[in-house]
Chain A
Amino acid sequence: MIEKMKKLYLLIYHQSKDEFLERLQKIGVVHLDTGDNIQSDAIQDIKNRLSKLDKCKKIVLSNKTKNSKVVQKSRDGGDIEQYLSEIENIENRLGAEKSRLDNIRKEIELLTKWGDFDPDTIRAIEERSGYKLKLFYARDKDYDDIVSGISNDVFVEKIIEEKSKVFFAVFYKNPASLESVRASEEKIPLKSLKRLKKEAARIEESIGVLEKSKSSYAELMDEFDKYRVDLEDSLQYNVVDSSLSPEVEGKALFIRGWVPKRVLKFVEEFLEKEDVAYIVDDPAEGDEIPIKLRNNAFNRLFEPITKMHSMPNYGEMDPTPFFAPFFAAFFGLCLGDAGYGLVLFITVIVAILFGKNKKIRPILYLGFFLSLSTIIAGAVLDSFFGFKITEMTLLPKALKKTAIFTDMNTQMSFAIMLGVIQILFGYFLQTISKIKFGGIKAGLQPLGVFLLITGTVILGVGYGLKGDFSIGPMPVKKIITSIPHGFNVGATLIIAGVALILLFNNIDKKIFVRPFLGLWEMYGIVTGIPGDVLSYIRLFALGLAGGLLGGAFNMIAFMVRDSAPIGINYIGMIAILLAGHIINISLSALSAFVHPLRLILLEFYKAYGFVGGGKAYDPFRKGAA
Chain B
Amino acid sequence: MGEMNSAFIVAAIGLGLMIGLSGSGSAIGLVISGSSAMGSLKKRPEAFGALLVASILPSTQGIYGFVGYFIYSDLVTPDISMFNASLVLGAGLMLGIVALVSAIYQGKICASSASAIGSGHEVLGQGLVFGALPEFYAILALVASILLKNLAQ
Question: A residues touching B (Cβ–Cβ < 8 Å)?
Answer: 304-305, 308, 408, 412, 535, 537-538, 540-542, 544-545, 548-549, 551-552, 555, 587, 590-591, 593-595, 597-598, 601-602
Contact = CB atoms under 8 A, between A and B. Distances in A.
Contacts of B70: 548-549, 551-552, 555
Contact of A408 (B66, B129, B133, B146): B146
B102 to A, nearest CB: 13
Interface of B: 53, 56-57, 59-60, 63-64, 66-67, 70-71, 125-126, 128-129, 131-133, 136, 139-140, 142-143, 146-147
Contacts of B67: 544-545, 548-549, 552
A311 to B, nearest CB: 14
10 contacts: A541-B142, A542-B139, A545-B63, A545-B142, A549-B66, A594-B57, A595-B132, A597-B128, A598-B132, A598-B133
A308 B126 contact: yes
Contacts of A593: 128
A587 B63 CA distance: 10
B60 A591 contact: yes
Nearest to B126: A308
B56 A537 contact: no
A408 B143 CA distance: 10
Contacts of A602: 129
A160 B10 CA distance: 63
Given A308-B125, A542-B139, A587 B132 contact: no
A597 B132 contact: yes
Given A537-B140, A549-B67, A594 B131 contact: yes
Given A305-B125, A541-B139, A545-B142, 19 more contacts: A408-B146, A535-B136, A537-B139, A538-B136, A542-B139, A544-B146, A548-B67, A548-B71, A549-B70, A552-B67, A555-B70, A590-B57, A593-B128, A594-B131, A595-B136, A597-B125, A597-B128, A597-B129, A597-B132
A175 B143 CA distance: 82
Contacts of A549: 63, 66-67, 70
A308 B113 CA distance: 14
A591 B59 CA distance: 11
Contacts of B71: 548
A-B complex: 5 closest residue pairs judged by Cβ atoms? A308-B125, A594-B128, A548-B67, A598-B132, A541-B139
A541 B143 contact: yes
A595 B64 CA distance: 15
Contacts of A541: 139-140, 142-143
Nearest to B141: A541
A610 to B, nearest CB: 14
B43 to A, nearest CB: 12
Contacts of B56: 587, 590
Contacts of B136: 535, 538, 595, 598
Given A548-B71, A552-B70, A598 B63 contact: no
Of listed B66, B131, B132, residue having the most chain A CB within 10 A? B132
A552 B63 CA distance: 11
A252 to B, nearest CB: 40
B132 A594 contact: yes
B129 A601 contact: yes
A622 to B, nearest CB: 24
B41 to A, nearest CB: 14
A598 B135 CA distance: 11
A308 B128 CA distance: 11
Contacts of B147: 408
Contacts of B132: 594-595, 597-598
Nearest to B59: A587
Contact of A598 (B53, B64, B129, B142): B129
Nearest to B128: A594
A548 B139 CA distance: 14
A544 B149 CA distance: 15
Nearest to B71: A548
A149 B148 CA distance: 82
A13 B71 CA distance: 78
A591 B138 CA distance: 13
B143 A412 contact: yes
A332 to B, nearest CB: 17
Which of B53, B64, B129 counts the most A-chain CB atoms under 10 A from its CB? B129
Contacts of B125: 304-305, 308, 597
A552 B71 CA distance: 10
A535 B132 CA distance: 11
Contacts of B53: 590
A308 B132 CA distance: 15
A585 to B, nearest CB: 13
Contacts of A590: 53, 56-57
B91 to A, nearest CB: 14
Contacts of A598: 129, 132-133, 136
Contacts of A538: 136, 139
Given A548-B67, A548-B70, A548-B71, A594 B146 contact: no
Which of A304, A412, A544, A545 has most B Cβ within 10 Å? Answer: A545
Contacts of B126: 308
Contacts of A542: 139
A545 B63 CA distance: 8
